[in-house]
Amino acid sequence: MIDRLIEKIEKTHAPIVVGLDPMMNYIPEHIQQKAFAEYGETLEGAAEAIWQFNKEIVDNTFDLIPAVKPQIAMYEQFGIPGMQAYKKTVDYCHEKGLVVIGDIKRGDIGSTSAAYAAGHIGRVNVGSKTYTPIGEDFVTVNPYLGTDGVKPFVDVCKEEKKGLFILVKTSNSSSGEFQDRLIDGKPLYELVGEKVAEWGADCMGSRYSYIGAVVGATYPEMGKVLRKIMPKSFILVPGYGAQGGKGADLVHFFNEDGLGAIVNSSRGIIAAYKQEAYAKFGEAHFAEASRAAVEAMVEDIDSALQNRK
Amino acid sequence: MIDRLIEKIEKTHAPIVVGLDPMMNYIPEHIQQKAFAEYGETLEGAAEAIWQFNKEIVDNTFDLIPAVKPQIAMYEQFGIPGMQAYKKTVDYCHEKGLVVIGDIKRGDIGSTSAAYAAGHIGRVNVGSKTYTPIGEDFVTVNPYLGTDGVKPFVDVCKEEKKGLFILVKTSNSSSGEFQDRLIDGKPLYELVGEKVAEWGADCMGSRYSYIGAVVGATYPEMGKVLRKIMPKSFILVPGYGAQGGKGADLVHFFNEDGLGAIVNSSRGIIAAYKQEAYAKFGEAHFAEASRAAVEAMVEDIDSALQNRK
């Protein structure tokens, strides 16, 4: 799957991923009203609004991008109907040829991590039958429990040719509280980064490992260090745009081959129509605003990478 | 909710929680066959088997115990039908008067943690209506992202009178890989424990804070230290029984008042019928074996606590 992601990045010239984090206040009024008219102001109605919103954004951007990253919390908060909208989104993005990174940040002890891995990126057996319950291509994983919490995910990736992005240094402002603390003179995130490189060493695609890392765009200096610690790991970089990261901050997340990183933007793309720069599209054409925002983001990162050389 | 949990612990004299982690190989053949006859060998069939298994265990133990802890991964692995079985289990345990601790180990940055919190222990708005999508009483939370990942859960607890158990020192064998690393001479788990005490300080029930911690039974010495660092936090203690913890190991997780800890057993209770000690019940009476295992566990912990005095 890492090879497919790279192939798609090279084809689109867009090392970016669109974060499908459909908060209700991003969803235009007309979509909400239509969904509520059909399903009432219910969890099903909310799920339908999310799904229609996602579909229109995907329809307007899929040819420009390699991947999407649905944030499962935004679906899970609406209970079972929300989870159905998540699954529908994953399936639809696959139909459109996109790589799907499930932002699930799961992590537990052995057999429990194995269950998460089976459900999200693997298969489960029921009697004599086998099913793919959710079916993302990559998922994000929390490393706090150590190797035996991560290993079951790695094992499933090996079998299924899927991949992981393991939280190393997150984009939020208090991420340093534990992640930056010094251990033998090195911050915890560096130790986690070393482990990611170790876990990923025997999980190589043709150029990169399918065991990647999450490092926030909001910490470019740390990104530079982590890039060197994990030379063969793809880095998923959240925090671009709305959280403050800019293209110029991001060049050091990439290797000299122009690969090795994929930058996520959620709000900056899916709620672009709310920004002054894209206000001309109006709420009715919100997905065209998203398309324009994708083009601007690709251009921003591309020119930053060009200027680096 | 912490007051209700304490009240139930005092009433049952059982500081224990039954872990509803229904792995398929724990579920007796006759339950699987009945579910598959009705729903086929499908995800729905697996979910039905889980639900019937849980129901029988709850029916046979609810009067002896204060709380249950469903492990969401074991449901989530069966996709949407699995999540429906999870929700059904939560609701049924509430009908039976049990406190429900959702073992979800979620944790993300601000607005995303807020979405998880709303979905699991809070409420969501849809238009003019408000819903409780899942409705556990407590959930487990992963602290790796720091205060702004945990705070949204705490805020929802304050509003809704719910509670948390934050991962401090997990029961698995490689938990030390990051959690035990020394920072200014102190292991990371102690720093996290200090934060739990701090987060919980203004979240007091009548005797204990509703912001608790998870500390594995497999690390009794660390439990002793953490008990002192977080004197007002309830400790959820996994790892009893099948993972190796014994009653005598657990006394230092409790305060002098005999409270402050709640010990989880999953496999040891729900798959008791597979142990030699309970083999006499047979697979057909698996839930009676679970009841006997609960009684033995309560007795084991009680006598350990008595001998301490």
Q: Which residues of B touch A142 (CB under 8 A)?
A: 105, 107, 142, 144
Position A212, amino acid: G
State how far the Cα of A164 lies from the Cα of A154, in Å rounded to an integer: 8
pLDDT of residue B62: 98
pLDDT of residue B243: 67
**Number of H helices and number of E strands within chain A?**
13, 12
- The enclosing H or E element of A147 equals helix A147-160
CA angle B53, B217, A179 (to 5 degrees): 105
Among candidate residues B302, B107, B138, the one with its CA nearest the CA of residue B233: B138
Tokens of A292: 């324009």
Among candidate residues A70, A107, A114, the one with its CA nearest the CA of residue A195: A107
State how far the Cα of A51 lies from the Cα of A85, in Å rounded to an integer: 6
Q: DSSP code of A204?
A: B
pLDDT of residue A242: 67
CATH code that applies to domain A2-308: 3.20.20.70
Q: Which residues of A touch B188 (CB under 8 A)?
A: 178, 181, 183, 188
CA angle A148, A152, A154 (to 5 degrees): 105
Continuous H helices in chain B: 2-12, 29-39, 43-61, 73-76, 79-95, 110-121, 147-160, 176-179, 188-200, 220-229, 247-250, 267-270, 286-308
Least CA distance to A112: which residue of chain B?
A: B73
Tokens of B289: 């074996």
Nearest chain A CA: its distance from B216 CA (Å): 11
Nearest chain A CA: its distance from B306 CA (Å): 32
pLDDT of residue A305: 92
**Residue A233 — φ and ψ, nearest 5°?**
-95, 135
State how far the Cα of A124 lies from the Cα of B31, in Å rounded to an integer: 18
* Res A309 pLDDT > 90: no
Q: Which residues of A touch B133 (CB under 8 A)?
A: 43, 77-80, 82
Q: Which residues of B touch A147 (CB under 8 A)?
A: 174, 177
Mean pLDDT taken over chain A: 96
Condensed to tens digits (0 to 9), the pLDDT of residues A243-252 reads 666 788 899 9
C-beta atoms of A77 and B119 within 8 A: yes
Spacing of C-alpha B275 from chain mean position: 22
Tokens of B26: 């724990």
Q: Which residues of A touch B71 (CB under 8 A)?
A: 108, 112
pLDDT of residue A202: 95
Q: What are residue B166's DSSP bridge partners? A: B141, B213
Condensed to tens digits (0 to 9), the pLDDT of residues A135-188 reads 999 999 999 999 999 999 999 999 999 999 999 999 999 999 999 999 999 999
Q: Which of A77, A148, A177 sits opposite B174 (nearest CB)?
A: A148
| Radius of gyration of chain A, Cα coordinates, nearest whole angstrom | 19
Q: So which residues of A are the catalytic ones?
A: 105
Tokens of B220: 């009794």
Mutate to test the interface with B, among A139, A147, A172 (most CBs of B within 10 A): A172
B146 vs A125, A191, B142, B165, CA distance in Å? 37, 17, 9, 15
Are A267 and A22 contacting, i.e. CB atoms less than 8 angstroms apart? no
Average pLDDT over residues A203-217: 97
How sure is the predictor about A241, in pLDDT bands with cuts at 50, 70 and 90?
confident
Least CA distance to B108: which residue of chain A?
A: A105
Are B241 and B278 contacting, i.e. CB atoms less than 8 angstroms apart? no
Maximum C-alpha span of chain A = 60
pLDDT of residue A82: 98
At residue A297, the 3 state secondary structure works out as: helix
State how far the Cα of A241 lies from the Cα of A132, in Å rounded to an integer: 34
Which residue ranges make up each domain of chain B?
Answer: 2-108+137-308
Q: Which of B105, B107, B174 sits opposite A147 (nearest CB)?
A: B174
Q: What are residue A209's DSSP bridge partners? A: A204, A233
Nearest chain B CA: its distance from A130 CA (Å): 8
Least CA distance to B103: which residue of chain A?
A: A108
Q: Which of A41, A74, A109 sits opposite B172 (nearest CB)?
A: A109
C-beta atoms of B126 and A42 within 8 A: yes
pLDDT of residue B246: 79
pLDDT of residue B309: 63
- The enclosing H or E element of A60 equals helix A43-61
ipTM, two decimals: 0.97
Q: Which of A84, A133, A178 sits opposite B143 (nearest CB)?
A: A178
At residue A223, the 3 state secondary structure works out as: helix
Condensed to tens digits (0 to 9), the pLDDT of residues A65-123 reads 999 999 999 999 999 999 999 999 999 999 999 999 999 999 999 999 999 999 999 99
State how far the Cα of A118 lies from the Cα of B76, in Å rounded to an integer: 9
Tokens of B245: 């913890």
C-beta atoms of B144 and A149 within 8 A: no
**Residue B133 — φ and ψ, nearest 5°?**
-65, -45
CA angle A207, A208, A211 (to 5 degrees): 160
Average pLDDT over residues A123-130: 98
Q: Which residues of A touch B41 (CB under 8 A)?
A: 126-129
- The enclosing H or E element of A188 equals helix A188-200
C-beta atoms of B76 and A108 within 8 A: no
Nearest chain B CA: its distance from A2 CA (Å): 23
pLDDT of residue B196: 98
Assign domain B2-108+137-308 one CATH number from 3.60.150.10, 3.60.20.10, 1.10.287.3510, 3.20.20.70: 3.20.20.70
State how far the Cα of B18 lies from the Cα of B3, in Å rounded to an integer: 19
pLDDT (tens digit, 0 to 9) for every residue of chain B, 309 residues total?
Answer: 999 999 999 999 999 999 999 999 999 999 999 999 999 999 999 999 999 999 999 999 999 999 999 999 999 999 999 999 999 999 999 999 999 999 999 999 999 999 999 999 999 999 999 999 999 999 999 999 999 999 999 999 999 999 999 999 999 999 999 999 999 999 999 999 999 999 999 999 999 999 999 999 999 999 999 999 999 999 999 989 866 667 888 999 999 999 999 999 999 999 999 999 999 999 999 999 999 999 999 999 999 999 886
A285 vs A94, A279, A282, CA distance in Å? 24, 10, 6
Q: So which residues of B are the catalytic ones?
A: 105
Q: Which of A79, A107, A144 sits opposite B87 (nearest CB)?
A: A79
Indicate yes or no: pTM above 0.90: yes
Q: Which residues of A touch B82 (CB under 8 A)?
A: 119, 133
Are B149 and A172 contacting, i.e. CB atoms less than 8 angstroms apart? yes
